[in-house]
Amino acid sequence: MVSKKKAAKKTAKRASKKSAKKVVKKAAKKTAKRVPKKAAKKAVKKSAKKVAKTATKKTARRTATARKTRVEEPLVLQPLRGMRDILPGDQPYWEQVRRVLNKAAQEYGFNRIQTPLVEFENLFVRSVGSTTEVVQKEMYSFVTRGGDRVALRPELTAGNVRAFIQHGMNVWPKPVKLFSMGPVYRYDRPQEGRYREHVQGNFDIYGESDPIIDAQMVQMAHRILHSLGIKDVVFHINSIGTPKTRAAYKKKLTKYLEKYRRKIPAELRAFITDNPFRILDAKDPVCAEIAAGAPRAVDALDPESKEHFARFVEYLDELGITYVKDDTLVRGLDYYTQTVFEVFVRGEGGKRRSLGGGGRYDALIKALGGEDMPAMGFGLGLDRIVLEMKRVHAKSYELPRPRVFLAQLGDLAKKKSLTIFAMLQKAGILTSESFGRGNLRAQLRKAERSGVDVAIIIGQKEALDGTVILKDMMSGSQETVDVDKMVPTVKKLLKNISK
SS3 per residue for 13-47: HHHHHHHHHHHHHHHHHHHHHHCCHHHHHHHHHHH
Position 32 scores a pLDDT of 47
Task: Decide if 328 contacts 292 (C-beta within 8 A).
Answer: yes
CATH architecture of 91-242+302-391: 2-Layer Sandwich (3.30)
* Domain 404-498, CATH: 3.40.50.800
- CB-CB neighbours of 445 under 10 Å: 12
Position 29 scores a pLDDT of 52
Position 24 scores a pLDDT of 45
Position 70 scores a pLDDT of 56
Give the C-alpha distances (Å, rounded to integers) separating 473 from 403, 436, 456, 478: 10, 22, 10, 9
Nearest-CA neighbor of 53 among 16, 25, 23?
16
pLDDT tens for residues 204-254?
A: 999 999 999 999 999 999 999 999 999 999 999 999 888 888 888 888 888
Give the C-alpha distances (Å, rounded to integers) separating 447 from 102, 450, 453: 34, 5, 9
Which amino acid, 79?
P
pLDDT tens for residues 120-164?
A: 999 999 988 877 778 888 899 999 999 999 999 999 999 999 999
Give the C-alpha distances (Å, rounded to integers) separating 119 from 141, 206, 378: 10, 21, 21
Distance CA 114, CA 123 (A): 17
Q: What b/e sequence results for 93-106 when a residue is b if at least 16 CB atoms lie within 10 Å of its CB, and e otherwise?
A: bbebbbebbeebbe
Residues of the chain with pLDDT under 70: 1-71, 332, 349-350, 499
Would you list the domain boundaries of the chain?
Answer: 2-72, 91-242+302-391, 404-498
The angle that helices 2-34 and 37-72 make with each other, rounded to 10 degrees, is 150
DSSP strand pairing (404-408 vs 454-458): parallel
Nearest-CA neighbor of 185 among 150, 218, 212?
150
Distance CA 114, CA 340 (A): 25
Three-class SS of residue 452?
A: coil
Burial class (CB in 10 A: 0-12, 13-18, 19+), 398: exposed
Distance CA 339, CA 358 (A): 8
Distance CA 5, CA 16 (A): 16
Position 313 scores a pLDDT of 96
The structure's pTM equals 0.78
Distance CA 406, CA 490 (A): 12
Torsion, CA 142, CA 143, CA 148, CA 151, rounded to 10: -10
Position 11 scores a pLDDT of 52
Q: Phi and psi of 36, rounded to 5°?
A: -65, 165
Backbone conformation region of residue 30, classed left if phi is above 0, alpha if psi is from -120 to 50, else beta:
alpha
Position 206 scores a pLDDT of 97
Burial class (CB in 10 A: 0-12, 13-18, 19+), 461: middle
The angle that helices 382-391 and 91-107 make with each other, rounded to 10 degrees, is 120
* Side-chain-side CA neighbours of residue 151 (13 Å): 26
